[in-house]
């Protein structure tokens, strides 16, 4: 029965540590609990067995835990959980292509201070540099900053 308890404690500890690494990374609660259960198993080994056997239990436990980590890194298990997709778009893309300072347009919504306006038969989100602008008012582009179109009436 003593061996069963020892193996159960060490097995549960190892399982919790691997669960933390593979399935719930970042929470650390499961990993810490796994370390505590493993340490409890080693302590149980020192209390229940003679010193030589206890040191052997500690050595085997450390080897198994370390081997499980090394195997999981080398076997490619991590690749199943790693994000393989990459973001190919840019923060400042070519949405404002074709627009220039001084182009005239019309407000298609109230601009207070952000709203919609039509320039060159396309609708864009714009920002007013003069506050509220009513729908239907003619606009002029005064600035193009990053992805922002700044207009005045």
Top-confidence residue, 7 or 68: 7
Residues 6 or more apart in contact with residue 124 via CB below 8 angstroms: 95, 96, 99, 116, 117, 118, 149
Q: With the C-alpha atoms ordered 126, 131, 135, 138, is the resulting torsion angle positive or negative? A: negative
What tokens appear for 138 in the block? 């003619």
Compute the distance between CA of residue 150 and CA of residue 153 in angstroms, rounded to an integer.
11
pLDDT (average), residues 90-117: 86
Per-residue confidence (pLDDT) for residue 4, from 0 to 100: 92
Is the pLDDT score of 97 beyond 90? no
- Which superfamily, per CATH, for 104-152? Nucleic acid-binding proteins (2.40.50.140)
Q: What is the pLDDT of residues 110-122, one digit of tens each?
A: 999 999 999 999 9
Q: What is the pLDDT of residues 32-67, one digit of tens each?
A: 898 899 999 999 999 999 999 999 999 998 998 888
């Amino acid at each position: 029965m003593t061996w069963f308890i020892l193996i159960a404690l060490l097995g549960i500890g190892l399982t919790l540590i691997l669960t933390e690494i593979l399935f719930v990374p970042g929470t650390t609660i499961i990993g810490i609990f796994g370390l505590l259960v493993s340490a409890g198993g080693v302590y149980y080994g020192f209390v229940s067995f003679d010193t030589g056997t206890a040191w052997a239990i500690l050595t085997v436990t450390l080897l198994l835990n370390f081997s499980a980590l090394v195997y999981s890194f080398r076997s490619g298990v991590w690749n199943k959980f790693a994000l393989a997709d990459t973001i190919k778009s840019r923060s400042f893309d070519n949405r404002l292509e074709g627009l220039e300072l001084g182009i005239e347009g019309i407000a298609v919504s109230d601009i207070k201070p952000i709203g919609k306006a039509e320039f060159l038969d396309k609708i864009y989100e714009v920002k007013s540099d003069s506050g509220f602008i009513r729908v239907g008012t003619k606009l002029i582009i005064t600035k193009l900053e990053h992805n922002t179109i700044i207009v005045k009436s």
